[in-house]
Structure 1
Amino acid sequence: MLRAVGNPGASPEEFVFHGTAGSGKTALARDVFDEAVARGVVGLWVNAASEVAFRAGMLAVALDRGADPRQVEAARVGQRPAADLVWQHLEASPAPWLLVLDNADDPTVFGDGIWLRRSGRGTVLITTRHGSAPLWQDADRRHLDVLGLDDAVHVLRDLNVTGYDQAALERLASALGCHPLALTLAGTYLGQRLLDPVSVDEFLQRLRNDPSGTLDEAADPDERDLRRLISSTWQISLDALTDRGVPEATTLMWLLSCYAPDPLPVGLLHAQRLTLTDLAHAEPPLPTRKADTALRGLMSQSMVAGLKVPGDVGRPDVPAIHAHALLLDSVAARIPLDQREGVLAAAAQLLDHLLHDGEAEGTHLDAQTLRLFTPHALALLHRAAAAHSATAPKALGIARYLRDESGECGDYASVHLLADAAVRVSPSVSAATEAELLDDRYELACSLSDLGRYTESSEIHREVLHAREAELGRDDVQTLDSVHALGVALYGLGKWAEDEECLRRAVDGRIRALGAAHVDTIMSTACLAEAIGEQQRWDEAEALARTNLATSEAAHGPTSPYTLAARHTLAWALYQLGRLDEAKHLASTTLTARESSLGSTHPRTLVVRDLLASILRGQKRWAEAEAAARSVLTAREETLGADHPHTLAMRTELIRILTGAGNLTAAQALAVLNLEACIRVLGEEHPDTHVCRQAHEDAFGSRFRDDHTTTTGHDKEVQR
């Protein structure tokens, strides 16, 4: 761009910097301006924020370029065309020039466009929030957005925020959304505070409690105009839209502020859904027929941006919009109290209707829908709870629903986020019963178990179990749910005798309450067989698993998910007993069924492929075993993380396969890393650590025990 500035005779250029408030448009224009002036270009700067300021500035440009003061006065009072006078003298300028038209957020200040012309003598640079205005459709437009994380940290360092490591500054930059104005305000505040210094962590805590107010406080007292205050900067755009006859944009922005800064599918705002809300009676009203105009208005002011979210395999892209987190926080804080309840209610109604639209009994939400709407459900719950809104119970219900649906998809990270949010919010929701509060804590404990955080999970499960025993009795089905889930957590800790004790109680209680063929009883029986087997009582485990499989097949059919779980347990017991061909047949048929119903990367699919890799190792089919193990390891690293106990166990299995195949270099390198991780994550005495240490010794001892057995367990499946 700088090559075009100050190059007389070159093709006339018009540049437009556009972006949301505080994105650095003016600051970048100032840098270009200063650089051009340093090169000998005449710099001309005009405030285009209002028609009065713009006309006065342009007439001052004419004077600067040699116009007679009497001509300028005549133009000022309307006795001659002002735009013609200005451009006549710009064209006649003996020196090249750069004309910056700053803050041109309302294109009507340029009339019908007669003020915007191009000249071979200079360059026009416009800064605006209105990136789609027809007047500059043919200009060279540059969109300014948030900074990258590294650049954001550089901004903080440039503002003298010192004494902190890279990680601390990255946390601060991320919390500010890498927004240029927010970074400048925060950096100036932290870097120049003389009395009562505030640390980054203290500032982050204040930011969490009051984002807009904290950043407003950071503004320099001499610069606290509306364009420097985070809480007010976007209100300018909303006021401009109101002045242009689009007041409903304000109400739509209030609605959007109830959601997260993540991509929001525009289907949520479909006209048929909006008619279900009471937004047409808000103040200002948002009639359904005006929603599209309101959205286009927000986009024209760079308050929201459109994008296409890539669809899952075989599915189309999803049209969506998104806005910056600070913008949403600022707008949410400025919703009038008499409008807030209605806006929150509308936000909850829209999300709830979309999630349940066309829902059929027995079906579950797809992974794409869960991924797209989970952050918005969490944001809505936070907003409603913080406002003590009557909408909070409905928002909590949405979060619980998405929590359960995410569990079906095997998205354990989202399950935990939603479960944790429910536990934090539910005590403050007046409609929540004691049983619901316990249910929320139970689900949180289950999510921790899924994430491999077994100690935390077992502690919460014990608390919930004791409460349910006192409230419901020892043999209530919910009490037995807690007994079963506690056993699962104990299994993860390698406490198999305690696990067996819990699972026996769960099986006996569920048989009495539900019957031997009930799905919950089948799952508890499968888990009990695993607990027995881990204590080297494989014949007993095999007999129990075989009976359980027969019961499930008779009651639920051969392809029921409960039958598949029972079949997997039997295959595992047969593998441990050395009956590899029979184990492989059962594992292979289970894997095919799981892949068909759940997909290749679902945790319940991976657990079967994990077993199959072990069986193939026992059969010394090294290449097939390695391929199966690596596919499971890759999927677990991506979904569960490198340090999840299931990932560590799979890595140990791969080490044993590589050692058996004679690939000692790869086995040894992996063994060193995995043993350190097992000790760090599981502890020295965990059974899986012992197995990993043995695999490490085998790899470095250049020996491989010629057997198929392993003392490490597999993922225990939980039916909740």
Structure 2
Amino acid sequence: MTESVEPNSPESPVPRTAVSDHGRLFRAERDQHITEYHTHIAASLGALGDKQWAGPDSVRVPLAARMHSPIRDRRDLRRALLAAILGSEPEPQGIHLVHGMPGCGKTAVALTVFDEAVGGHDITGLWVNASSTTSFRAGMLAVASDRGASQDEVDAARAGRRPAADLVWHYLDRSAERWLLVLDNADEPAIFQEPGWLRSSPRGTVLVTTRHGSAPLWHGAASHPLGVLDVSDAVEVLLDFQVGDTDLAALGQLAHSLGCHPLALMLAGTYLGQQVLEPVTVHDYLQRLRHDPSTVLDLGAEPGERDLRRLISSTWQLSLDALHRQGLPETTTVLRLLSCYAPDPLPAGLLAPPRLDATALAQADPALTGDRANAAVMGLKSQSLISLQDVPGDSGRPTVRTVQAHALLLDTVAARIPLDQRDIVLTAAAELLSQLLATSDDQYIDSQSLRLFAPHATALLRRSTSTSSRALEPALTVVRGLRLQSYARGDYATAHALGEAATAATRDGATPDALADRYELARALTGVGRFAEAADLHQESLDARQTLLGADHPDTLASAHALGLALYGLGRFAEDEQHMRRAADGRRRVLGPEHPDTLESRACLSEAIGEQGRWAEAEDLARPNLAISERALGAEHPHTLQSRIALAWLLSRNDQLDEAETLARATVSDSERVLGPEHPRTLNAQDLLAGILLRQHNWREAEHVARSVAEVRERIFGPEHPHTLAIQARLARILIGAGHRQQARDLVAHTLTVSTRVLGPEHPGTLNCREVYELATAEEHA
């Protein structure tokens, strides 16, 4: 019996028939015709003892569901695999291993390459499901039959009377046709440990798909790791399903939320594309996705879907079940612990055995003790559920070994932690961070640890808040500590992220701590240049603190000071003076004239007065303030540096350039030593020095200093931060003075456009930029 079939057609019939003792196998000539022939497969697998065994319907038909979306972003890999399969020389084509995390598209790659090789070239395709010993052995014996083995030979191999692997490879090595043998879903390499099952052949290529990318058995195979898609390709996948919403920004947000994970994209796209009676927008889908990602994603599966690899809720569990069979039940608890943190690289030292044993994870189910942690981590790595990588350390420091997992994996695992296990796991996660990041009151953790652990602290707080866990308070304490240290280091972007997390956790509170969270978030907003938002939040915090704590409470006065700084950034100098004067006078009265906070408020007050042109009054305030600060705090105290730079700025604006230059150079030198060369206050001192050098017509040094500040600010703050725009305008002035008018025009034209959009047309920074632009273009208009 023959039946015509169009190769590579999605509608091509896939013959399916049960195989019993005298069942059927289907044989095809390059998938052009399906030819029925009989083979006799006994009811037992010999040593396997499977009394109800049935072999595959056909090893010529891939035992994988056809894709609804074309494969994306795998072009180089497909070309490399096809080149190996089609090698022109009669040399062994080798074993190729495509490995990666569950759902990343390994089978889809193999299926596409299979179709390309069989449908367009003189290659015989053979497909074996290698997910279990039963299916693998049955499939390989069917391959032997396909390549010409007699039924008696197959029966003997199956019954253990002759080596099964030798039989299969005897006929593969003597195949008249070139072949491609796909061993799909080979996630448990132990299946191949019987000697001789995995070999190279001069007649074909073996393509293995697996989650287990590092098994010793794969030694010598060509390894092809497979990750997630690029965002642009992920959006294309969603568009393939006709999701109804062609807003590329919204689809990009959805793709990002799904971590560009191929299976998740397919499920999301399927669901969105099939909602006919009551269409669901991408925005609505995203809202649902945040609450229970695995359940929402599985809505896109076919009704009654039985292939667990095509369900997000179970695809990770298959790997955990395999690890459990290998004697590693602890991997479940380790993965749950990791799901409390962010998908960023997590320093592996956090999971050191003594730290784990100091938590209650030994009472978790499954229990996790320190002596089992390393084996559990390596087990997760073996199934591609996590990766281990070395992250570069800070300058002069060694690399850091880290553990990392995909965001979607962490979200779905976290959402499905049993209720009776959540507090144990979340509290342990908080204790681990607290142990590692604990410092004495006068010490900060190193900047490298701050950089690596900040995202994990915010993720932990978010998880703890959403579950009302006992871990909330310790997690909040960790986030607040890191926020304080980030701000002190001048890392305002990190302080802002931590501040947002803390504020979200205490949003409904009216306690001093909750108000402090809002205050700190507003300070971070000022640091990142979002002055209007900062001013609004500071005003709200000031009013609430005044009501709750009183007008002269130190926290209330701190809010008045911080509000003044935000207003200064907006160019509202009179209002700045009003609030800064309140802070300075109140702090002097409550804290004393030599308190660091008092001295800082007085220095900032002198700048607000100076910005309004009252230079003598401002100097009369700034000069004695610096003297008090030097006497009370020392010449290199950060608040003394602030007082010194304030006086230097006033003197430079009042044409006392020599003294201003001396003070500015001293401040730059001390700030570099005390705060660091890239601290925002150090950059402010360098900015001022560049301005003084400009006024002294010292063009060469002024340009050098200004370019240095501009490069660092753009790298740290971004190209549109108000301070970045300010130094670019100053650099343009310097270039005009140095005779580089064309460079100045190009620079200031762009800066003026951005400044107008970011700050507004009437902001002092924009007005200054417009003045520089007019100077740069004056020669053209003359």
Counting only pairs closer than 5 Å after superposition, residues 232-381 of structure 1 correspond to structure 2 as 232-356=314-438, 359-381=439-461
Deviation at 1:524, TM superposition (A): 0.3
1:126 paired to 2:203: no
Contact 1:18 1:143 in 2 (8 A): yes
Which of 136, 154, 160 is the aligned partner of 1:78?
160
Q: Equivalent residue of 1:104, what SS? A: coil
Identical-residue share of aligned pairs (%) = 55
Q: Comparing 269-278 with 234-243, which one deviates more in the overlay?
A: 269-278
Q: Comparing 72-81 with 394-403, which one deviates more in the overlay?
A: 72-81
Map Cα deviations across residues 389-412 of structure 1 (whole Å, 9 max, x no partner): 011111111111111111011111
Contact 1:268 1:354 in 2 (8 A): yes
Contact 2:85 2:93 in 1 (8 A): no
Deviation at 1:172, TM superposition (A): 2.3
Which consecutive residues of structure 2, in runs of 5 or more, have no partner in the other structure?
1-80
Which of 582, 586, 591 is the aligned partner of 1:514?
591
1:56 paired to 2:138: yes
Deviation at 1:373, TM superposition (A): 0.6
1:23 corresponding residue in structure 2: 104
Which of 204, 219, 223 is the aligned partner of 1:141?
223
Contact 1:664 1:702 in 2 (8 A): no
Contact 2:636 2:674 in 1 (8 A): no
Map Cα deviations across residues 373-424 of structure 1 (whole Å, 9 max, x no partner): 1110111011111111011111111111111111011111111111111111
1:648 paired to 2:725: yes
Q: 1:82 to 1:112 in 2, by over 3 A?
A: closer
Deviation at 1:334, TM superposition (A): 2.0
> How many residues end up aligned between the 2 structures?
699
1:711 corresponding residue in structure 2: none
Contact 1:6 1:98 in 2 (8 A): no
1:88 paired to 2:170: yes
Contact 2:623 2:647 in 1 (8 A): yes
Contact 2:239 2:246 in 1 (8 A): no
Query: Structure 2 length as normaliser, TM-score?
Result: 0.87
2:27 corresponding residue in structure 1: none
Contact 2:353 2:369 in 1 (8 A): no
Residue identity opposite 2:103 in structure 1: G
Q: Equivalent residue of 1:468, what SS? A: helix
2:535 corresponding residue in structure 1: 458
Query: Structure 1 length as normaliser, TM-score?
Result: 0.94
Q: 1:691 to 1:6 in 2, by over 3 A?
A: closer
| Structure-1 separation of matches of 2:561 and 2:498 | 22
Map Cα deviations across residues 622-671 of structure 1 (whole Å, 9 max, x no partner): 12111211211222222222222212222221121112222111111222
Q: 1:452 to 1:271 in 2, by over 3 A?
A: same
Map Cα deviations across residues 591-618 of structure 1 (whole Å, 9 max, x no partner): 0111112221110110000100100000
Deviation at 1:160, TM superposition (A): 3.8
Q: Comparing 406-415 with 693-702, which one deviates more in the overlay?
A: 693-702
Contact 1:423 1:444 in 2 (8 A): yes
Contact 1:113 1:135 in 2 (8 A): no
1:617 corresponding residue in structure 2: 694
1:558 paired to 2:635: yes
1:98 corresponding residue in structure 2: 180
Deviation at 1:6, TM superposition (A): 5.0
Q: Comparing 306-315 with 447-456, which one deviates more in the overlay?
A: 447-456
Deviation at 1:165, TM superposition (A): 4.7
The Cα RMSD (Å) is: 1.7
Which of 582, 603, 606 is the aligned partner of 1:529?
606
Map Cα deviations across residues 450-503 of structure 1 (whole Å, 9 max, x no partner): 122222211121221112212221111111111111111111121111111111
| Structure-2 separation of matches of 1:198 and 1:580 | 66
Deviation at 1:32, TM superposition (A): 1.3
Map Cα deviations across residues 9-63 of structure 1 (whole Å, 9 max, x no partner): 2124011111110111111011111111121211110001111111111111111
Deviation at 1:167, TM superposition (A): 3.2
Contact 1:629 1:653 in 2 (8 A): yes
Contact 2:245 2:282 in 1 (8 A): no
1:11 corresponding residue in structure 2: 92
Q: Comparing 31-40 with 370-379, which one deviates more in the overlay?
A: 31-40
Q: Equivalent residue of 1:350, what SS? A: helix
Contact 1:4 1:10 in 2 (8 A): no
| Structure-2 separation of matches of 1:225 and 1:99 | 22
Map Cα deviations across residues 188-219 of structure 1 (whole Å, 9 max, x no partner): 33344433222322222222232222211122
1:221 corresponding residue in structure 2: 303
Q: Equivalent residue of 1:245, what SS? A: coil
Deviation at 1:2, TM superposition (A): 1.9
Q: Equivalent residue of 1:141, what SS? A: strand
Contact 1:396 1:426 in 2 (8 A): no
Residue identity opposite 1:202 in structure 2: D
Q: 1:295 to 1:159 in 2, by over 3 A?
A: same
| Structure-2 separation of matches of 1:530 and 1:224 | 71
Residue identity opposite 1:539 in structure 2: A
1:386 paired to 2:463: no
Contact 2:292 2:415 in 1 (8 A): no
Q: 1:616 to 1:203 in 2, by over 3 A?
A: same
Which consecutive residues of structure 1, in runs of 5 or more, have no partner in the other structure?
705-720
Residue identity opposite 1:551 in structure 2: I
Which of 510, 515, 523 is the aligned partner of 1:446?
523
Q: Indicate the structure (1 or 2) with the bigger Cα radius of gyration.
A: 2
Q: Comparing 137-146 with 609-618, which one deviates more in the overlay?
A: 137-146
Q: Equivalent residue of 1:154, what SS? A: helix
Deviation at 1:537, TM superposition (A): 0.7
